[in-house]
Structure 1
Amino acid sequence: MSSVPNVAPLLQQANTSLQSGALRSAEETCREVLALDPLNSQAQLMLAGIVGQRDQHRLACDHALRAAQKMGPQTPQHIAAVTLRLIAVGEYERAVQVIRKIDPQRVRIPSVLVEFSQQLSLMEEHAEALRYLDAAMSMGISAESLGYLRGNLLKFLGRMDEAAQEYERSLAVNPDYAFAHWALAYLGVPGDSRARAMRVRKSLDASAASNPDLPYLQYALFKELDACGDTDAAWKALEAGAIARRAQISYHGGEEAALFERLAQATGPGFLATASPADSAKVPIFVLGLPRTGTTLLERILGGHPEVTLCGELNDFRMQLKWSTDHHSLGFLDNVCVDRINDIDYAELGSRYLGHVAWRAPATNHFSDKNPGNFMLAGLILKALPQARIVHLRRNPMDSCFSNMKELFAANSHPYSYSFEDLASHYRNYSRLMSHWHDIAPGRILDVSYEDLVSDPDAQARRVMDYCGLSYDAAQIRVESNATPVSTASSAQVRQPIHTRNIGGWKRYESQLAPLKTLLGDAAD
């Protein structure tokens, strides 16, 4: 708490106003506090939220950083709230620094340790996240979510058998815990899929139709039945899960098409003529495309080179784009962001991006940024970071769409994945936008076919490394030897040697997917 005597009543007054929705009154009171105590962490945190609601994104970033600047003795709950706000505005390094100052053995509030663990995992700090979660669990608390969370961290770290044990521990606490059933089904470890399918069916029978977690059970059932070869029953489960999930999220293919068209118009043929000066000291390698098209596999191949640091799915470019436009768009971009594209200082955007990721790759000049959604920002990346390399993974359209459909993505990620119409619409939108980036930046983006990559990994890896200006070592394609953590949907698959088994995988459900093929039209070929 602040040492200024008359600040505590003002903070209470500000918090009361904030809770009642009186934002202007809360803001005025917070500024009274700051007049007396300029770095008061609680006031700065409240202001970060208030100005963020007004879409003053840069100011929200500033207040969040100030909230972490001089906290003094604070409750663990307040510290967790500060780090969560730092994450929300893209200040990941500062959030990690603050959390690391907290000794998990000295915090006696399990829920706060679990919160710190989840925040660290969001920032790809999975080993640290496991340490905080283990400290929470050492206090003897028991909840079905803890085994699930611990299993996820172990999976990201490549400890698959231990992850399976944790998911089973979660189900021992609550046999109907949907997330654990789903995670275990998608983990890919050996086991009796038929017995697990019966277990999932039992949980489905016990679940109310209104249960928001129902899609997780239905997708788990699909995965287990698919492993058993019972494709008819598996499809029924997948279809039910996709319908249930689609009802929970929002996606409008026409609105996305209009947004991408506006983006293309704002980034016409002369857009890259005034690109920022290249900073050759650091060379980011962006790996992008649709999810489940080999992006994680390619990143693992890159990571076999000693001069490349793997950084995973970073959000830093889109977060610094929000700062540059002073607008917190939901997702990667929106109409307001597109309207401000030509007002951006691209040299500053590139510099801020490199500054915000430097802590992740201190020892190498090359590093990966494998966020598939960066396909929406490829032209902006090239303008802000002319030295960047962009590797675009392409996969057979039907395999691409089906691989997305059979993956239950987190929260609102990839909301187009749950109906044939949405999948076809998004695939066309994505393809048109990538064609546009190729048109305005000929030769700047390297397309890599997933089918070619898994069929002849040596040749394709050489091609990629040559494009990146790096040497090639045949050991790079032995991705199963790479122990770097992976937190994507492919975290289990990339622990295996490269194989071609997934080429044409959609054909196992060819009759059920016929309407999708019709909707894709020429794009399906």
Structure 2
Amino acid sequence: MPRSGTTLIETIIASHPNVHGGGELRHLHRLLPSENGPEDKLYPQIMKNADILAIQRIAEDYDELVAAMAGEHPRITDKMPANFVFLGAIHALMPNAKIIHMVRDPVDTCLSCFTRLFDKAQYHSYDQIELGTYYNNYRRLMSHWRDVLPKDAFMDVRYENIVEDFEPNVRALIEWCNLDWNEACMSPHKTKRSVRTASVTQVREPIYKTSVKKWKAYQKQLQPLLNTLGDNAEI
């Protein structure tokens, strides 16, 4: 989900000298379009209908696009939150990709979305009921991916664990990425890189805990959201 800590985690990883922080890339969404075309050419049907050569070409096209951005860095991140829709395709197309799923308190996540004016799309975030419905669908799809993909296909990273106990969780994250440890990953706020998300100011600051359970102060005003989330209000 947007506002779940994706920028923080990307900045930690991109602090490593072997990694280029790509930001929120739209490459997969262009290569696997889900609207504006014949149904058999749209995702997910395209994955069922394409032959092996066409599927390989999608992976090659993506690789070429990100390699051009990465420059001399051997690794690159793609932190587009909506990539969760493509997890099955990503695992099939790029089995060596290290997929990280950011998990944050559901109500904190939704509150952070609700209080941001996004510069692109995210129209569901401006209504509590629609936002809660989107979140429920996201949780349902992530549950599906857990059921059908290998257990090691992706790693869940809890935002709260990162800010509460930083070093051991960052070390586990870097190890998951098959990167050698580098002390720069301990100071992501010092990393000089372009950030074009709503988290641009937060990632310039040292790690803080004030955003954990922030929604409690607005519980009365968030009843439409809480009612919609139901059991999904808890991880």
Q: TM-score, normalised by structure 1?
A: 0.42
Give the secondary structure class of the aligned counterpart of 2:197.
coil
Aligned to 2:205: 496
Q: Tell me, yes or no, if structure 1 residue 340 matches structure 2 residue 37.
A: no
SS in 1 for 2:92: helix
The residue number in structure 2 matching 1:448 is 157
Match of 1:415 among 95, 100, 123: 123
Q: Distance in 2 between matches of 1:415 and 1:479?
A: 30
Task: Quickly say closer, same or farther: Cα 1:363–1:425, change in 2 above 3 A.
Answer: same
Give, in angstroms, the shift of residue 443 of structure 1. 1.5
Q: Which residue of 2 aligns with 1:302?
A: 13
What does the per-residue CA deviation read over 1:343-367, in whole Å, with 9 as the maximum and x for residues that have no partner?
2332111111001121111212211
| 1:430 and 2:138 aligned | yes
Any idea what the Cα deviations from partners look like across 1:223-263, whole Å, max 9, x if unmatched? xxxxxxxxxxxxxxxxxxxxxxxxxxxxxxxxxxxxxxxxx
Contact 2:128/2:225, CA 8 A, preserved across alignment = yes
Structure 2 residue aligned with 1:512 = 221
Q: 1:480 aligns with which of 159, 166, 189?
A: 189
Contact 2:66 2:76 in 1 (8 A): no
Residue 407 of structure 1: SS of its match in structure 2? coil
Q: Are residues 1:464 and 2:166 paired?
A: no
CA RMSD of aligned residues (A): 1.8
Q: Name the amino acid aligned to 2:2.
A: P
1:461/1:472 contact within 8 Å kept: no
Q: Which has the higher helix share?
A: 1
> Residues 139-192 of structure 1, C-alpha deviation per residue, up to 9 Å, x if partnerless?
xxxxxxxxxxxxxxxxxxxxxxxxxxxxxxxxxxxxxxxxxxxxxxxxxxxxxx
Displacement after TM superposition at 1:335 (Å): 9.4
Superposition deviation, residue 336 in structure 1:
4.0
For the residue of structure 1 that corresponds to 2:156, the secondary structure is strand
Q: 1:401: Cα distance to partner?
A: 0.8
SS at 2:157 equivalent: strand
Contact 2:40 2:46 in 1 (8 A): no
Residues 1:458 and 1:334: Cα distance change in structure 2 (over 3 Å): farther
SS in 2 for 1:471: coil
Q: What percentage of aligned pairs have identical amino acids? A: 36
Mapped to 2, the partners of 1:396 and 1:334 lie a distance apart of: 37
User: Rg bigger for which structure?
Assistant: 1
Q: Determine the C-alpha separation between the residues in 1 that align with 2:18 and 2:107.
A: 35
Change in 2 beyond 3 A, CA 1:509/1:488: same
Counterpart of 2:89 in structure 1 is 380
Give me the whole-angstrom Cα distance separating, in 1, the residues matched to 2:26 and 2:224: 35
Unaligned runs of 5+ residues in structure 1 are 1-289, 323-327
Corresponding position of 1:362? 71
1:522 corresponds to which residue?
Answer: 231
Match of residue 11 from structure 1: none
Residues 32 and 46 in structure 2, CA contact (< 8 A), matched pair in contact too: no
Q: Which amino acid aligns with 2:158?
A: S
Q: Contact 1:350/1:384 (CA < 8 Å) preserved in 2?
A: yes
Q: Do the aligned partners of 1:346 and 1:384 also contact (CA within 8 Å) in 2? A: yes
Cα deviation, residue 423, structure 1: 1.3
- Cα distance in 2 for residues equivalent to 1:347 and 1:336: 16
